[in-house]
Amino acid sequence: MKLVEIARFDNRLEAEAVGHALDQHGIPFLVQGSDIGIFGPGMVGRSPLEVSLQVPEEALEEVKILLDCVVSIPESSGEDAD
């Protein structure tokens, strides 16, 4: 399954909250960032390292519609998340 980034957030909590909005639609997501080692998992403030929210490429159009009022998803979205 190829994942594409749909948005970046200032912290993991925000990315997880938006990602879990996709749960009721059966769309899996991945939150990826380098923040854990620096601030710890409980850090909810702004991090100097952004956190990426990624979804399966085949769900991208549906996610754009579902999250339109929450995040601005650039048209050029489609980076690999290997």
Say what the pLDDT of residue 13 is.
Answer: 84
- CB-based burial, 68-79: b 16+ in 10 Å, e otherwise: eeebebeeebee
Span 3-31, mean pLDDT?
Answer: 91
Q: Does residue 20 have a pLDDT over 90?
A: yes
Distance of CA 27 to the CA centre of its chain: 12
Q: Does residue 27 have a pLDDT over 70?
A: yes
Overall number of domains in the chain:
1
Q: Chain-wide mean pLDDT for the chain?
A: 80
Which CATH number characterizes residue 20's domain? 3.30.70
pTM over 0.85: no
Determine, yes or no, domain membership for 25: yes
pLDDT tier for residue 69 given thresholds of 50, 70 and 90: confident
Determine, yes or no, domain membership for 42: yes
> What 3-state DSSP class applies to 37?
helix
